[in-house]
Amino acid sequence: MSPVSPRPQPEKQPENVPQSQRSSSPPPKTSSSGRRVLLGALSVLVAAGAWWMTNTGPILGTSRGDHVPQEEQQRLIESFSQVRNVELQPVNLADPVEREKAVQSLDLPAQEAKKIIQEADQGEVKLAWITLWDNAAEDGDVVQIQSNGYTRAVTIAHAPRTFVIPYIMKGQVVITGVHDGGGGITVSAKTAGGAIPFPSIAEGQKVTLPLK
State which residues form the domain around 189.
70-210
Does residue 106 have a pLDDT over 70?
yes
Helical residues (DSSP H) of 11-59, grouped into ranges? 32-56
Is-contact 185 175, C-beta < 8 A?
Answer: no
Model pLDDT, residue 67: 76
Residue 51 φ/ψ, nearest 5 degrees: -60, -45
Query: Lowest-pLDDT range, 37-46, 52-61, 62-71?
Result: 52-61
Q: Do the domain assignments include residue 181?
A: yes
User: In whole angstroms, how far apart are CA 125 and each of 100, 147, 161?
Assistant: 17, 11, 22
Based on the structure, what is the number of domains in the chain? 1
Model pLDDT, residue 52: 30
Model pLDDT, residue 14: 46
Q: What is the mean pLDDT of residues 152-163?
A: 96
Whether the pTM exceeds 0.85: the reply is: no
Using alpha carbons, select from 80, 155, 149, 77 the residue that is nearest to residue 119: 149
User: Is pLDDT larger for residue 11 or for residue 125?
Assistant: 125
Does residue 28 have a pLDDT over 90?
no
Q: Do the domain assignments include residue 75?
A: yes
- Angle in degrees, 0-180, between the axes of helices 110-121 and 96-106, rounded to the nearest 10: 130
Q: Do the domain assignments include residue 205?
A: yes
Using alpha carbons, select from 194, 61, 207, 204 the residue that is nearest to residue 138: 61
Q: Do the domain assignments include residue 166?
A: yes
